[in-house]
Amino acid sequence: MGRPMTTPDPTRCPLCQQDNACGAAAGKSDCWCFSVTLDPAALAKLPEAAKGKACVCRTCGEKRPADGSRWPEKP
């Protein structure tokens, strides 16, 4: 058997399991999350085990525009 399913992967978003592109987890000194406002509603959905250990990805964590439009997707 491998790792327990509950172990959070610091490089993956706990909400959608995609790469969270976290600069801090990659050993860089900065991260996209330093320059955006994280959505408190997204942070509230994080599993207890992932809090403080795994970042959400930009798609899940960045606050949506008030008009409901989507953020531009990467090509």
Number of Cβ within 10 Å of residue 58's Cβ equals 19
Residues that bind Zn ion (CB under 5 A): 13, 15-16, 57, 60
| Residue 7 vs 19, nearer CB to Zn ion | 19
| Residue 1 vs 65, nearer CB to Zn ion | 65
Q: Using an 8 Å Cβ cutoff, are 22 and 33 in contact?
A: yes
Minimum gap (Å) between residue 71 Cβ and Zn ion: 12
Minimum gap (Å) between residue 1 Cβ and Zn ion: 27
Minimum gap (Å) between residue 27 Cβ and Zn ion: 21
